[in-house]
Each structure stands twice: as C-alpha cells, then as structure tokens.
Amino acid sequence: MITVWTLAALLAYVVAAGAFGVGLKSPREQLISWATMALAVGAGLQTVDLLLQALKAGNLPVATFAQSLALLAWITAVVGMVVITRLRLALVGAVVAPAVAIALAAACLMAQNDDRSLPRALRSAWLPVHVTLAFLGQALFVLAAGVSLLYLLKESRLKAKRPLEIPDSRLPSLESLDRINYRLLACGFVLLSLAIVTGALWAAGTWGRFWSWEPVELWSLVLWVLYAALLQSRLAIGVRGRRAARLTIALFAVLLCSYLGVNLLVPGKHGGSFG
C-alpha cells in the first residue's frame, strides 16, 4: 500500500538523483552535499514506512513483489550511504539515487491496495535473515556496477586527455576504484552464498527438501557461479581494470534481467505468489 511516507521518500530520492546528476558535471561541492543529504532523508523516511508496514504484517513486508522491490530500494539506499560515508565515494550516489528512485517508483506503480499477507508457513524467523542477506548481496552488486561505471568514465576521459569537470578529490584513482569494486564484489558474493544456504535450510524445514530447482533457486545458482568465476578470474589470472569493470556491469545486467524476469513471469514460491 502506498503511504505518505513512501511518496515523501520517493520525492527525496528523485531530488537526490537530480542533484547528483548536476553535481557530476559541476565543480560545486555543495551540490554533492545536498544530494547526499537528500538520499539520507529518503532512506530515513522509507525506514519509518517499512517499520510501520513490518509492525502491521508481523514480519518483513515482502508479501508482494512491489513490497520486496521497495525493500530492496531501501537496502540499496542504506548500503549506498555507508559506501559514500565510509569510502568517501560520494559520486557513487549518481548511480544509487537514480536506481532507488526508479525501483521505488516502480513499486508504487505496481502496489495494490490490498491486505495480502504472508502464508502462515512463511512467517518464520528465517524470513528476515534470508531476505536481508539476499538483498544486501544484490545491493552490493548494484554498487559494484556503479563503481565500475565511474571507473570506465574516468579511464575514458584520461585516455582522451579530456579532464573531468569535477574535482579529482571526488573521484579516487583508477587503482582505488578497481580495489573498491573487488571488495564490493567479494562481500556481495559472501552474502549471496549465505542467502542461498539460509534459503535451503528454511526450505528444508518448511517443505521438506533443501532444493526444488524452481526459477529463483536456479538463477541464484547461475549468478553464484558467474560471480565466483569473476572473482576467481581476478585472483587467478589477474583480471583487473577495464575488463573487470565491464564484466561487473555485464553480470549486473544478468542479475537485473533474472530478478525482474523471474519475479514477474515465473516467481514460484518467491515474488509474492508463494506457490
């Protein structure tokens, strides 16, 4: 259900996306500060909204795809704020803010004014653990793709001998961006692995089998293998820089297509159908 908190958060995300977009081409430091503040305000407003929905549902509000998409947007915004503040990489907000704004807008468009709730069998302590791990992993993959875009942007400008209009202090060196990309991928892979394990344990307790080869499980396994191969290629054969950035973006495109395709077309026990 769309609430005033949802709409206020969406407005803050849109403002943040616009400010980051302008700030990416402007030397004014204040624009980036305003954009970061707007992103934080949006995350705070959505926190209130999700807490109210969780209290009403008695668990995480993921009974529908729209609800799960809104939750993913919030987690991505929160993780983005952590990266912005801890790694001093404010310009990653130029990717995070539009992504969460689009995701939350889509969730609002798909939201249904009903009181659909989770089946009793799924009202388990495993739900917040499994879903949070999965969405945290996906959020880190979003950020890794964003850092990769910044890497390719900076590299292309350096090769063309066309300096960026923004101060160098806002954008780390190519080596630092590559290192941040690897750290995000590694952390996201660990979280994806834990999400698969907790999902299997939950399924065993609920349906009596660890694995049922439904679409979400199959694509999770495919993505696990692909991200494992990317990380292994970085460690074993030294894939770095531009190649690593392009592969990160390509894998994120696969992740995005699988997430939308599976949840909208063949969700199975996921995506709100719980069949």
SS3 call for 27: coil
- The CA angle 77-78-83, to the nearest 5 degrees, is 95
User: For the chain, what is the mean pLDDT?
Assistant: 85
User: Taking Cα atoms as reference points, which of 234, 229, 248, 221 lies closest to residue 140?
Assistant: 248
**Top-confidence range, 110-124, 165-179, 184-198:** 184-198
Taking residues 60-77, what's their average pLDDT? 89
Q: Specify the pLDDT at position 164.
A: 57
Per residue in 70-119, pLDDT (tens digit) is 999 999 999 999 999 888 888 899 899 999 999 999 999 887 655 566 66
Per residue in 8-25, pLDDT (tens digit) is 999 999 999 999 888 777
Q: Is the pLDDT of residue 47 over 70?
A: yes
Task: Identify the band that residue 27 occupies on the pLDDT scale cut at 50, 70 and 90.
Answer: low
User: Taking Cα atoms as reference points, which of 133, 149, 54 lies closest to residue 92?
Assistant: 149
pTM of the model: 0.88
3-state secondary structure 233-265: HHHHCCCCHHHHHHHHHHHHHHHHHHHHHHHHH
Q: Is the pLDDT of residue 158 over 80?
A: no
Taking residues 139-166, what's their average pLDDT? 82
Per residue in 194-224, pLDDT (tens digit) is 999 998 888 888 777 777 777 888 888 999 9
Q: Is the pLDDT of residue 268 over 70?
A: no
CA trace torsion 56, 60, 63, 68 (10° rounding):
130
CA trace torsion 115, 120, 126, 130 (10° rounding):
-40
DSSP letter assigned to residue 16: H
Q: Specify the pLDDT at position 271.
A: 47
Taking residues 175-204, what's their average pLDDT? 92
Could you tell me the two tokens for 35?
């954009």
Q: Is the pLDDT of residue 193 over 90?
A: yes
CA trace torsion 8, 72, 251, 185 (10° rounding):
110
SS3 call for 203: helix
